[in-house]
Amino acid sequence: MEHMKHMVDMAKSPLEAVKDMMPSPDNASVYPYGLCIRLTQDELEKLDVDHADWQVGDIFHLHALGKVTSISSHEREGGNNCCVEIQITHLSGESEEAENEEEESEDKNEHEEDHKEESEPSKKKGRPNVYF
């Protein structure tokens, strides 16, 4: 897997959550409005995602590309405010469980390849194998 910028938890602070709270605190989210993504059966099929064994609370690792569609900023009495709208255009993902299994398999294969190379004779002429 390629290295990517670290993930940032977008949860609101307790103060932000109170400030943005809807009339019903029972359904208030700790995440800001607009950060929820809804995938229907059609989108899940496009992503080739098997969600049959998913449960509420499972983690799904997303990778997305987005197009900036709007940028606005304005000065207010309480300070400056900025808003950027991003339309998600490309999306991929996999369950954390599947990703962890894949990484473990890759690590095992790399270890086996390293061990195999150590035990095979050198294929380069004039360079004997050196073992410690």
- 39-51 per-position pLDDT tens digit: 888 888 888 888 8
Count Cα atoms within 13 angstroms, Cβ side, for 66. 13
- Whether 14 has a pLDDT exceeding 70, the answer reads yes
Q: What's the pLDDT at 68?
A: 93
User: pTM higher than 0.75 for the full model?
Assistant: no
Q: Is residue 73 part of a domain?
A: yes
| CB-based contacts of 132, cutoff 8 Å, min separation 6 | none
Q: Is residue 40 part of a domain?
A: yes
Residue type at 7 in one-letter notation: M
Q: Which domain holds residue 26?
A: 14-119
Among 99, 129, 98, 103, which residue's Cα sits nearest to residue 116?
A: 129
Q: What is the pLDDT of residues 20-67, one digit of tens each?
A: 665 555 556 777 778 888 888 888 888 888 888 889 989 888 889 899
Instruction: Give the number of domains in the chain.
Output: 1
CB 60 within 8 A of CB 95: yes
CA distances from 55 to 43, 59, 95, 130 (A): 18, 9, 11, 52
Q: Is residue 130 part of a domain?
A: no
Q: What is the DSSP letter of 121?
A: P
Q: Is residue 92 part of a domain?
A: yes
| CB-based contacts of 105, cutoff 8 Å, min separation 6 | none
Q: How confident is the model at residue 93 (pLDDT cuts 50, 70, 90)?
A: confident
Q: Is residue 7 part of a domain?
A: no
